[in-house]
Amino acid sequence: MRIVALYSIKGGVGKTASAINLAHSAAACGLRVLLWDLDPQAAATFYVRTKPRLKGGIEKLVKGKQEMARVIRSTEYEGLDILPAEFSYRHLDHILEDEKRSRLRKLLKPIRDDYDLVVLDCPPSISSLSEQVFAAADALLVPLIPTVLSLRTLEQLNTCLAELDLDAQVWPFFTLVDRRKTLHKDVMSSLKRDYPLQLSANIPYSSVVERMGIERAPISVYSRTSAPAVSYRELWQEVAQRLGLPETPAS
């Protein structure tokens, strides 16, 4: 079982949209995928039409008083399950303060034979939860808007990882890209020079992505041939190749 986290210090960069579309693309390749919504806003849970309810709350799960398999829910997409978020997740940082950094990964251990891939949709923060995610994930997929401030958050993340002495793989990629803007093109070129682990697929700015909130579905479901849908499938192929997982849809 491989674990990837969609993570950024900055909000509004497309973490949840990317988590859902990558998870859906992976499931379309025949993988058994678990999407874990770690954000108390529960946007990923909403997008896949699942009730934001966790019996006993997140503390009961973290403390080992609730089996993870009992709170995972199936979605309408074959091969894709979700561990839904709810408002009790607002306490998650506090709950994890006294836990070892390995707690999140340990929680996933009982289901390691049930899934090929776990996708963590993370809230924007530097916190106890972030440290747990850094220690658990095989790779941090970091969406970036092509702006100087967004690049600064990537530098802050790398500084944080160094201070925590965590050797996490950081794979940035660009979202909300408008190639008509000179700034976007310049920023993208600078990262490519300075950051060899950058993923090459870019997600364009498009109303098709914004429609996810209306459609409550992955983009490929309602606009399969659109540029964002194609870009997310390309992004998945690149991520899958690095993880050693199937890259193309199952026949």
pLDDT of residue 250: 60
Contacts of 151 (CB under 8 A, 6+ apart): 144, 187, 190, 191
The CATH homologous superfamily of the domain defined by 2-243? P-loop containing nucleotide triphosphate hydrolases (3.40.50.300)
DSSP class of residue 228?
A: H
User: Which string of DSSP letters, residue by residue, matches 12-73?
Assistant: SSSHHHHHHHHHHHHHHTT--EEEEE--TT-HHHHHTT-----TTHHHHHHTTSS-HHHH-E
Residue 60 to residue 184: CA distance in whole angstroms: 44
pLDDT of residue 41: 92
Helix axis angle, 182-194 relative to 148-164, nearest 10°? 30
Give how far Cα 120 sits from Cα of 95, 105, 167, 239, 251, Å: 18, 11, 18, 14, 27
Please state, as a whole number, how many other Cβ atoms lie within 10 Å of the Cβ of residue 229: 23
Question: Do the bridges between strand 73-74 and strand 80-83 make them parallel or antiparallel, or are there none, so unpaired?
Answer: antiparallel
Please state, as a whole number, how many other Cβ atoms lie within 10 Å of the Cβ of residue 204: 17
Dump pLDDT digits (tens) for 140-199.
999 999 988 888 999 999 999 999 998 889 999 999 998 788 888 888 888 877 788 899
pLDDT of residue 99: 80
pTM of the predicted structure, to 2 decimals: 0.94
Provide the pLDDT confidence category of residue 223 given band limits of 50, 70 and 90. Answer: very high
Contacts of 133 (CB under 8 A, 6+ apart): 5, 7, 38, 104, 120, 122, 140
Helix axis angle, 148-164 relative to 128-136, nearest 10°? 80
Residue with tokens 């009730």: 51
- What are the residue boundaries of the structural domains of the chain, listed by start? 2-243
Nearest to 117 by CA among 148, 82, 146, 85: 82
Contacts of 152 (CB under 8 A, 6+ apart): none
Residue 127 has pLDDT above 60, yes or no: yes
Dump pLDDT digits (tens) for 66-87.
888 889 999 999 999 999 998 8
Contact 157, 170 (CB under 8 A): yes
Element holding 182 (H helix, E strand) = helix 182-194
Give how far Cα 2 sits from Cα of 34, 121, 166, Å: 10, 15, 18
